[in-house]
Amino acid sequence: MISFNFDYYKPNSINEAVEAFIYLNSKGKQPLYYSGGTEIITFARENSIYTGGVIDLKGIPECNALELKQDYLIIGSTVTLSEISDSKNYLLLGEVSRGIADRTARNKITIGGNICGKIQYKEAVLPLLLTDCYFVIAGENGIKTYLISSIFDGKLKLKPSEFLVQILVPAENVNLSGINIKRRRNSTVGYPIISVAAIRKHKQIRLAFSGVAGFPFRDIGMEKEINKQNLTIEVRINNAIESIPYPIKDNLFSSAEYKKFLLKNALMEIINTLEAINEDI
Amino acid sequence: MRSYLILGKSIKRVEAEDKVTGRAKYTGDYNIVGLLHAEMLTSIYAHAEITNVDISKASNVKGVKAILTGRNYPYLTGSVIEDRPIIAIDRVRYYGEPVAVVVADTRANAKMAANLIVVEYKPLPVVNSPHEALKPNGPILHERLMEYRRLGEEAYPEPNSNIANRTKIRKGNMDRGWRESEVIIENQVSLPQSDHAAMETRTARAEFLPSGDVIISSSTQGPFFVRKEISRTFNIPIGKVVVTTTLVGGAYGGKTNVQLEHIVYLCSKAVGGKPVELVNSREEDMISSPVHIGLNGVVKLGCTKEGVLKAAEILYLFDGGAYSDRAVIITRAAGIDCTGPYRIPNVWCDSVCVYTNHPYATAFRGFGHGELTFAIERAMDMLAEKLGIDSLSLRIINALHTGDTSPTQVLLDGSFGNLTKCINRVSELMNWNERGPVVTEKNKVKAKGAACFWKTTSMPTDSQSEVIITFNEDGSVNLNSGVVEIGQGTKTGLAQIVAEKMKMDINKIHVYLPVNTRISPYDWKTAASRGTFMAGRAAIRASEDAIEQLKKIASIVLRSTEDELEVSGGRVFLKTNPIVGVDIKDIAMGYIYPNGNAIGGQIIGVGRNISNLTSKMNAESGRGRPGTEWTLGAQIVEIEIDLQNYHYKIRKAASVIDVGKVINYMAAKGQVIGGMAMGLSLASREEFLFDSRGEIKNDSLRTYPLLRYGENPEYIVDFIETPQINGPYGARGVGEHGVIGMLAALADALSRAVGVSLNRLPLVPEVIWRAVEEGKK
């Protein structure tokens, strides 16, 4: 039961969506862009979020795209995690998606919602951080395209009227060998203690993490350490963990020490798996 | 062996079609004209003074009819000790405690208003664990503990302390016990508070009629208990209170407590008697309503070199939370069966219920036994290891038998179940000889773990069940009992018992599923695995009563005597010449002679069953006979663990339980499997996570994990049938027992796999990792 009342808008175009936002904002309605709704609904139930108006993006054709066009895989922001994993267009993203929540929830949770929501894990962004993709963002200043590294820093840096329209993944990066290791407290479903996505390109491992810090990140310094192939695997892993630029903290589901333990094992598995694959690009 | 017509068969539940088609209705499913809705505001502190409650903004919300705060309702309630206000009065003692309640025309308006109530708190020091509760000079939660009214059942609170109850068990002579012990071990365990997680959240509705009747509808396991509580708390003649309960969507003990019923009573009264409903949100159901109890236990065991147990010294420290409710009796139950099903001549046990600033605890499937069994069985495993003998062999050596005495010094009679048979059967089913650890692939190890258990009831000595059967024109039967259908299928079992006794087609037994305290015969509570055990015998007696009445009228019609007659297949006939008889349909509503003369009337069979021969316990020694019967059994769990990260899979779980007699095979198996799943879920992941201020950080199913459907292992269930003389057709209770040994069996399997004794629940990989790391030091 949501105790407050709110307006509901379902625009058919990007422009209409932005206009609705500006209008609701001018009325002091604290509008929110709405996609799958799983976070807004559950947070509203417990009063940890408030809005006087939601703008449902699922009626916008661009947001529903999921296709390989020329050199890019286009993923609309309102595409559900189930659709992504079922499409098998992008295997690593599909694998990460399948690890989020449960099937029933994934039929509602969208990639845009997962990346732009308040919950810290945002695991769907992990493969994207590794593949030099672009985010198409709409707002009152029009539609712009950004390289992920320039606009995602722990979270997507959106201005109030802006929303994520699409993600463009370079086709050459979609089918790179990849792996996702997710460890939970003790369940096959639920939030991660740690979730790590990795790929190998040009004989270099790329790593992105969720759960380790309070936000998802990819760190070039860690990757440098992990790729020093002249050192032993143990040393590479220890150096990589030492170079994590953020403090690893205890949280509800795990102590910091246990996180480090899991991280070491995950990195070991990643190196052993990815460096064993011969068809390297 | 006796052969039965219908007993032991897997008869489909009487409510099955209604449930699978979605037509079955639960308490909150009714559309009632003029119904008002209540919503609670709950505490955001675990321990604080309420310095001010400002309802001015909330009062202005559209549709608000009343706002209730604790100060206006100075009632205290409780199950044994009256220590709990209905709505917090001037002070909150747990995170989630109801602080104010709004009644409005819609749930949304009520909730909107509840959010606008401004409560000012002054935080108080928090008691955040059972050990903290016992610290000298620590905060006392109930300064007036000794002044609280007590409600008949045994409770031994201690002045100027946080101890709500101490049950003492003293048997034999401890000095002698330790003298005769050549091998001694001591072990500590802990398990946290957790949730019942029933699918249907608790729901209650109240209404005052102009006649003075108070109508309460509630998703309760004890409508008659609710009636008694409402009558006593508000001083209303008991007959004026009517409590109705329809189907209940899972309960597990959590719905034996009376909480929302008191609140809706006050709400309805505040709005002139109009009907008011309160439905717990999932979050409220998890922490505002009572929870599963936590335990810290210390067990010291002594035995001879051959493994014969001589002495046990046991301390059970239960985390009863902020109010004592049923935790007092859970503590007592854990004392009664404190040793597990083992012959120990010298026993010292203190089973203590302490107050903490945690949610308050009430009954949970197993009623203290999953907890005590975890403590005892882990100690038994430690002892077996020290002795160098197989852990199940140690249990067989010490198994209790007929002629032995229990910790409360009850002489075990010929009805006592056969633990050795259970152990042998479960060992065979799970191939215990290959218990591991076995390396299955790189870094993976498979191992098995075992546990045994027993459980008797812990209920008032006058607890009882009654059954009424009435006959219809076509000779079919209506069955009415006060047992609540909570998903356990008892009423189907009762129908089987009546059909068996009447030698009648099961399809001719029509079951009345709801309970209405003005219509239904009395039943204490649908709890303690006693539905079939207690009401089953009442059903037999009701059938016998009806048979007697049928024979009486048939003897007139057939011009014979009652002892010459037999009832079977819907007829009453001469034993010596079955062709001569009369159909039940022709005498069920009286017999009409050809000329129109009529005799007799509706056949109504009545059966009663009171838990006779149970007695109170001695305050100093515990001596007494508190329970009706013991159900015992043995369980084995098989796991496979990845030693790289300590994540594991539960592969198989087996239970062999001595149930006396299986009434409905699939129903019994289903009950046991359900219990096992619950036990594995508790053991492997469930716990409320408290921060240092006693605030619960995972009061939602986002963050509170339960065993998922796909995570269930393969379940194996088998039964041993040593008849229980005072049970229906020899049957014992089996509703709770699947859960009991699972906690210890999982811990044993994982301990065996990693080579370190695991004594803390839940067994999440981090706990195992930490124990292994500490073991290395």
List of chain A residues whose C-beta atoms are within 8 Å of the C-beta of residue B108? 1-3, 5
Give how far the C-alpha of residue A185 lies from the chain's centroid of Cα atoms, to the nearest Å.
20
Give the dihedral of Cα atoms B355, B358, B362, B368; nearest 10 deg: -70
Least-confidence region, from B26-35, B89-98, B287-296, B526-535: B526-535
Distance CA B497, CA B503 (A): 10
- Mutation choice for B interface testing from A38, A45, A50, A187 by most B CBs within 10 A: A187
Mean pLDDT of B261-265: 98
Distance CA B404, CA B345 (A): 9
Question: Is the per-residue pLDDT at B753 higher than 90?
Answer: yes
Give how far the C-alpha of residue B639 lies from the chain's centroid of Cα atoms, to the nearest Å.
28
Query: Touching check for B701 and chain A: CB below 8 Å?
Result: no
Element (H, E) at B106: none
Give the ipTM. 0.93
Query: Touching check for B708 and chain A: CB below 8 Å?
Result: yes
Nearest CA in chain A to B710: A188
Instruction: Return the SS3 of B748.
Output: helix
Segment A31-86, tens digit of pLDDT: 999 999 999 999 998 888 999 999 999 999 999 999 999 899 999 999 999 999 99
Question: CB-CB: which of B114, B281, B698 is closest to A252?
Answer: B698
Distance CA B410, CA A269 (A): 58
Give the distance from residue A2's alpha carbon to the nearest chain B alpha carbon, in angstroms. 7
The secondary structure of chain B in percent helix, strand, coil, rounded to multiples of 5, reads 30, 30, 45
Verify whether the Cβ–Cβ distance A185 to B108 is below 8 Å.
no
What DSSP designation does B201 have?
Answer: P
The two three-digit tokens of residue B550, written as one number: 């049928």
Give the distance from residue B696's alpha carbon to the nearest chain A alpha carbon, in angstroms. 10
Place of tokens 């599963």: B292
CB atoms within 10 A of CB A234: 10
Average pLDDT, chain B: 96
Mean pLDDT of B673-687: 98
At A109, phi and psi to the nearest 5? -65, 130
Verify whether the Cβ–Cβ distance A1 to B763 is below 8 Å.
no
Distance CA B152, CA B149 (A): 9
The residues with which A209 forms a beta bridge, in sequence order, are: A196, A217
Give the distance from residue B62's alpha carbon to the nearest chain A alpha carbon, in angstroms. 12
Verify whether the Cβ–Cβ distance B765 to A261 is below 8 Å.
no
Mean pLDDT of B370-382: 98
Query: Touching check for A259 and chain B: CB below 8 Å?
Result: no
Is B164 within 8 Å of B361 (Cβ atoms)?
Answer: no
* 3-state SS record for B118-168: EEEEEECCCCCCHHHHCCCCCCCCCCCHHHCCECCCCCCCCCCCCEEEEEE
Ramachandran class of A113: left when φ > 0, alpha when ψ lies in -120 to 50, beta otherwise: alpha
Nearest CA to B280 among B244, B253, B255?
A: B255
How many percent of chain A have pLDDT more than 90? 91
Verify whether the Cβ–Cβ distance A252 to B765 is below 8 Å.
no
- Mutation choice for B interface testing from A41, A98, A100, A185 by most B CBs within 10 A: A185
pLDDT at site B688: 98
Q: How confident is the model at residue A252 (pLDDT cuts 50, 70, 90)?
A: confident
Verify whether the Cβ–Cβ distance B114 to A3 is below 8 Å.
yes
Is B532 within 8 Å of B514 (Cβ atoms)?
Answer: no
Indicate the pairing of strand B214-218 with strand B241-245. Answer: parallel
Verify whether the Cβ–Cβ distance A187 to B705 is below 8 Å.
yes
Is B694 within 8 Å of B94 (Cβ atoms)?
Answer: yes
- Mutation choice for A interface testing from B118, B680, B702, B706 by most A CBs within 10 A: B702
Segment B421-440, tens digit of pLDDT: 999 999 999 999 999 999 99
Question: Is the per-residue pLDDT at B2 higher than 80?
Answer: no
Question: CB-CB: which of B112, B698, B764 is closest to A186?
Answer: B764
At A124, phi and psi to the nearest 5? -60, -20
Give residues with Cβ within 8 angstroms of A70, minimum separation 6: A171
Hey, which residues 721-740 in chain B have their CB within 8 Å of chain A? none
Segment B480-522, tens digit of pLDDT: 999 999 999 999 999 999 999 999 999 999 999 999 999 999 9
Verify whether the Cβ–Cβ distance A186 to B770 is below 8 Å.
no
In B180-259, which residue ranges form alpha helices assigned H by DSSP?
223-234
Q: Give the A:B interface size as CB pairs under 8 Å.
A: 65
Place of tokens 């054709």: A61
Is B420 within 8 Å of B414 (Cβ atoms)?
Answer: no
What DSSP designation does B580 have?
Answer: S
The two three-digit tokens of residue B555, written as one number: 């003897």
Query: Touching check for A258 and chain B: CB below 8 Å?
Result: yes
Q: Which residue has the higher pLDDT, A2 or B640?
A: B640
pLDDT at site B468: 98
Instruction: Return the SS3 of B261.
Output: helix
Instruction: Return the SS3 of B759.
Output: coil
Verify whether the Cβ–Cβ distance A4 to B112 is below 8 Å.
yes
Query: Touching check for B60 and chain A: CB below 8 Å?
Result: no
Mean pLDDT of B732-741: 96
Complete DSSP assignment for B54-89: E-HHHHTSTTEEEEEEGGG---EE-SSB--EESS--
The two three-digit tokens of residue B17, written as one number: 């079609």
Distance CA B82, CA A255 (A): 40
Q: How confident is the model at residue B459 (pLDDT cuts 50, 70, 90)?
A: confident
List of chain A residues whose C-beta atoms are within 8 Å of the C-beta of residue B747? none
Q: How far is CA A212 from CA A265, B404, B553, in A?
A: 14, 57, 81
pLDDT at site B1: 54
Nearest CA in chain B to A1: B108
Hey, which residues 25-44 in chain B have their CB within 8 Å of chain A? 39
Question: CB-CB: which of B111, B702, B770 is closest to A1?
Answer: B111
Segment B564-616, tens digit of pLDDT: 999 999 999 999 999 999 999 999 999 999 999 999 999 999 999 998 789 99
Complete DSSP assignment for B558-577: TTS-GGGEEEETTEEEESS-
Nearest CA to A100 among A168, A36, A165?
A: A36
Indicate the pairing of strand A178-183 with strand A134-139. Answer: unpaired
Segment B19-53, tens digit of pLDDT: 999 999 999 999 999 999 999 999 999 999 999 99
Q: Return the sign of the alpha-carbon dihedral for residues B364, B368, B369, B371.
A: positive
pLDDT at site B383: 98
Verify whether the Cβ–Cβ distance A189 to B708 is below 8 Å.
yes
Give the distance from residue B707's alpha carbon to the nearest chain A alpha carbon, in angstroms. 7
Average pLDDT, chain A: 95
Question: CB-CB: which of A1, A3, A252 is closest to B689?
Answer: A252
Mean pLDDT of B677-684: 98
Q: How confident is the model at residue B99 (pLDDT cuts 50, 70, 90)?
A: very high
Q: Return the sign of the alpha-carbon dihedral for residues B740, B314, B342, B625.
A: negative
Nearest CA in chain B to A255: B766
Q: How far is CA A99 from CA A122, A255, A268, B150, in A?
A: 12, 22, 20, 52
Nearest CA to B380 among B3, B763, B745?
A: B745
Distance CA B267, CA B208 (A): 11
Element (H, E) at B355: none
Question: CB-CB: which of B698, B711, B766 is closest to A188?
Answer: B711
Distance CA B436, CA A275 (A): 34
Segment A217-235, tens digit of pLDDT: 999 999 999 999 999 999 9
Q: What angle do CA B668, B672, B678 make, to 5 degrees?
A: 145
pLDDT at site A278: 65
Q: Is B363 exposed, middle or buried (0-12, 13-18, 19+ CB in 10 A)?
A: buried
Complete DSSP assignment for chain A: ---S--EEE--SSHHHHHHHHHHHHHTT---EEESS-HHHHHHHHTTS---SEEEEGGG-GGGG-EEEETTEEEEETT-BHHHHHHHTSSHHHHHHHHTSS-HHHHTT-BHHHHHHSSSS--TTHHHHHHTT-EEEEEETTEEEEEEHHHHEESEE---TT-EEEEEEEEHHHHTS-EEEEEE-SS-SSS--SEEEEEEEETTEEEEEEESSSSS-EE-HHHHHHHT-TTS-HHHHHHHHHHT-SS----BTTB-HHHHHHHHHHHHHHHHHHHTT-----
Hey, which residues 499-538 in chain B have their CB within 8 Å of chain A? none
Place of tokens 């990693």: B754
Question: Is the per-residue pLDDT at B339 higher than 70?
Answer: yes
The residues with which B368 forms a beta bridge, in sequence order, are: none
Query: Touching check for A102 and chain B: CB below 8 Å?
Result: yes
Query: Touching check for A50 and chain B: CB below 8 Å?
Result: no
Verify whether the Cβ–Cβ distance B766 to A4 is below 8 Å.
no
Verify whether the Cβ–Cβ distance A252 to B697 is below 8 Å.
yes
Segment B518-568, tens digit of pLDDT: 999 999 999 988 889 999 999 999 999 999 999 999 999 999 999 999 999
